[in-house]
Structure formats: structure tokens, C-alpha cells
Amino acid sequence: MTSQPTLTTEPGDGSADPSRPRSGLQAGLKNRHLTMIAIGGVIGAGLFVGSSSGIATAGPGILLSYALVGTLVVLVMRMLGEMSAANPTSGSFSAHADRALGPWAGFSIGWLYWFFWVVVLAVEATAGAKILEGWIPAVPQWGWALIVMIVLTATNLASVGSYGEFEFWFAGIKVVAIAAFIVVGGLAVFGLLPGVDSDQAGLGNLTEHGGFLPNGPGAVLTGVLLVVFSFMGSEIPTLAAGESEDPQRAVTKATNSIIWRIAVFYLGSIFVVVTLLPWDARSIVDEGSYVAALDSLGIPNAGEIMNFIVLTSVLSCLNSGLYTASRMAFSLGERGDAPKAFARTTRRGVPQTAILSSVVFGFVAVFFNYKFPDTVFLFLLNSSGAVALLVWLVICFSQLRLRRIIQAETPDKLVVRMWLYPYLTWAAVAVIVFVLGYMLTDTEHDGRSTVLLTLLVAAVVLAVAFVKQRITARRAVAGTGKG
């Protein structure tokens, strides 16, 4: 019979005082940084770039796809907020899984999450390089990718405050841009935008051109597969909270605001797109949904405006990706699940080795993207593609167990509570399992290969975790015998 884990405080881990960061890290993030990181965290480049295929697949019904995934993210973030408000830590869900489910869970999900973000570094660096090369072709694409990676690495190495300041402005630009898009587009839909007479815009686009579900209800589920990964990043505020002035307050605020952030930025902007243009307009696929929407209003240089916004989102994602990967590596190092050097910090409280190790793997992935895009890099991309769903699943199971532990030991720390516990938690588990299962039937959009390759990598990491756990147990037994 296994004993139930407890939330005991290790010396220097910072969990005794929620207002303090973990050992080695410094509280360099201001409240305005955390606020903007939380708001901007849900607005990824995937929203601007990836929504076109979703609209083309599900028509106006893509709104249901975004609503379903958005609801799932809200529930998962509520669970994560409950655990992180009770124990803010740079390891976030990985550290919670370690306590709730065992070291194998924390090790596995931590390394899978790190793997996901170092691959994302390559994807975003390449996307940003393509835009910059279009503006200044004198510098080759690989050169731009190198420059972008070096600049943001230097930013992260300087101090956590530097990361926060860059992200504050990157996220600020994204938020202002998408808010302006919603306002301008919304006025055009209702015929209230001066100087613009768009004969295509109107609420009729939701039901005309084949109806609200022109490709049938099943297309909504396919749409879910296409948009689910654009929500990855919502959990970043819970990792960053450990380096903020008031971690508990930061986590609580980020958790409570997730509903309106998803409703406004995702559902609001997609609603504007599918009402400004018919869902089957060729321009949505050819130009991209947001560029096509701006073009329909006669806004000059819509493509370049959108490229600037996408570039900002890419730089934001790169900046946060490097920060997130390094902090997860730092947490793994603290818990003995990674080399101890990962847990060392500079005098500024920066985990230098963790950052450099993450960016090195990012550079390697960029190299594979240029040299072997259809083989090695495609494998990396697909094998990390379903990590988001595995992370969410681990968060659900961790919350189911930690809620009982927190209630028994430190009920005063339950400042954020999951709604209708445990029923909504189990409902979220069922939805995630269903989505994974449905992906296995999807061959048109590589859903099956993504799930299978991700599960293959997860199985390898799990095997390493169990071997490590067994070796650690043997050493402990041997040490006791010597004593």
C-alpha cells in the first residue's frame, strides 16, 4: 500500500512562503509584467496563421471548435491555478505532478514539456526569419533565424526583468492589434465603419453559403484538432509566478481572467473574420484569414500590417518559449531530474546553464528544419505535437489528488478552487481522452501520426523515468545499509 504524498516544505524551496520565489531565482517580474504575460500568453502566432485551415474545414462552425477547446483550457487552467496558488513554483504542473503522482510523473511531463518548447523555438525562429527576409533579403533566412535567437537569448540571460519587459511590449502590441481588429471589424460587420462599404460583410455569412455547419457536425471535431495546439502557452503565468513580487496574487489573477481573455481574443476575433467574409472565400486560404479580412475592408498594406503583428507574436512566442523551457529545466535540476548545473543561478537569479542548454537544442532543431525539413524535423514536430494534451491530462490527475492533500494539510491555501470538484475535472479528463482518440482516426491532417509519435516519445521518457527511480531507490537502500 503506497502512502499518500504530503506537501512538506523542503529547505529553501520557497513553498513555505507563497510570496517568495524558489531558491536561486529572484522576484524580478513586476505585476504589470505578469498581467501582460497572462493576457498575451493566450494569443499565439497560431491564432493568426493557423485559423485559416480551421475555417476552411469547419466553416462558421469553427466558432464551436474554439469554444469547445477554450472551455477545456479554462477548466485546466482553473485546476492549475488551484495548485499553483497553493504552491507557486517555477516547475508549475511538473512539480505538482511530482508531489501528487510521483517522481516519474514530474520527470516525464517536465521533460516532454521542455522538448515541446525547444522544438517550438525552431518553428518560431524560422517563421520570423521568413518575414524578416522578405523585408530585408540581403540577410539570408538562416542569418535572420540566428540573429533572432541570439538577441532573445541575450535578453533572457540578462535578467528575468529583461524577459518580462520584452514580453510586456510584445504582448502589448499583440493585444492592441487584435483589439483594434475586433473593434474595426465589428463596426464594419454592422455597417457602422465610416468610409467603408463592404458588400460581403454581415451576420448572414454565419448561415449562408451552406449553413452554419456546411461540412457537417463532424467538421467541428476536426476543427478542434486544428486549433487545440494554438492554446498552448496559457500555463506560462503559473511558471513565471515564482519570480514575481506576489506569486499567489499573480496566479489567482491570471486564473480568474482566462475566461474573458479566451472569449475576447479567440472567439471575438474569429467571429469578426467569419462575419466579414464568407467562410469559403478563396482569399482566406490564399492570404490568411486575418489578412483577407483586412483586405476586404480596403485597408491598404493589410498583408504587411499582418506580417508585423505575426512577427511580434513570433518574437513573443520565442521569448516566452526560451524562458519557459529554461525554467522547466531549472525545476527539473532542483528536483534531481536533470543535471544539477541546470539549477544553478547567476547573481542576477538567472539559470544560465538551463537557458543555454535549451537554446542549444533550439539551434539544433533550427538546423534540422533547414537541412532535413521532411524527415528529422518533421519527426520532431509530430512527436511533440500532442504534448499539450498530455500536459493537460497530467494537470487533471494531479489536481484530483492534490485537492485532498491541500484540504487536509493547508486548507487556508485554497484561495483558488476548481468548480464542481471532482465532476468537472473528470469531465475534462474524458474530453481530453476523447480528443486523443479522435486524433487517432484522423489521417487527413496527420492527427494519427502526431499522437502515435508523441506517445512513442512519451513511452521512452517514461521508461527513463522508471529506470532512474529504480536506481535512486537502490542507492537509497545501499546508503541505509552502509549507515
Cα(205)–Cα(224) distance, rounded to whole angstroms? Answer: 21
What H or E segment, with its residue span, contains residue 197?
none
Task: Rank 189-203, 232-246, 324-338 by mean pLDDT and report only the highest.
Answer: 324-338
Cα 14 from Cα 406, distance rounded (Å): 17
pLDDT in tens, 86-98: 988 878 899 999 9
- Give 365-372 contacts, CB < 8 A, sequence gap 24+: 365/118, 365/119, 365/121, 365/122, 366/121, 366/122, 366/125, 366/126, 366/142, 366/145, 366/149, 368/122, 369/122, 369/123, 369/126, 370/126, 370/141, 370/142
pLDDT for position 42: 66
Query: Residues 129-142: pLDDT tens digits?
Result: 988 999 999 999 88
Break the chain into its structural domains and give their ranges.
31-472
What confidence tier does 445 reach under pLDDT thresholds 50, 70, 90?
confident
d(CA 57, CA 222): 7
Name the band, by pLDDT with cuts 50, 70 and 90, for residue 482.
low
Lowest-confidence region among 49-63, 226-240, 259-273: 226-240
Q: What's the confidence (pLDDT) of residue 332?
A: 94
pLDDT on residue 442: 85
58, 65 Cβ separation under 8 angstroms: yes
Residue 4 has pLDDT above 60, yes or no: no
- 481 — pLDDT class (breaks 50, 70, 90): low
Distance CA 118, CA 365 (A): 8
Distance CA(147)–CA(145), nearest Å, equals: 6
Mean pLDDT computed over 10-22: 39
Report the share of the chain in percent with pLDDT over 90: 43
Lookup result for grid cell 482566406: 284
Which band of pLDDT confidence, cut at 50, 70 and 90, is reported for residue 41?
low
CB 461 within 8 A of CB 112: yes
The CATH number of the structural domain formed by 31-472 is: 1.20.1740.10
- Residue 148 C-alpha cell reads as 533572432
Identify which has the larger pLDDT, 483 or 255.
255
Q: Which three cell numbers stand for residue 183?
A: 473593434
Please give the Cα distance from 400 to 372 (Å, whole number). Answer: 42
Candidate from 216-225, 297-306, 343-352, 458-467 with smallest mean pLDDT: 297-306
Q: How many CB atoms lie within 10 A of CB 202?
A: 16
CA distance 446 to 382: 8
CB 387 within 8 A of CB 454: yes
pLDDT at 369: 85
pLDDT-based confidence at 21, cuts 50/70/90? very low
Q: Supply the pTM of this predicted model.
A: 0.89
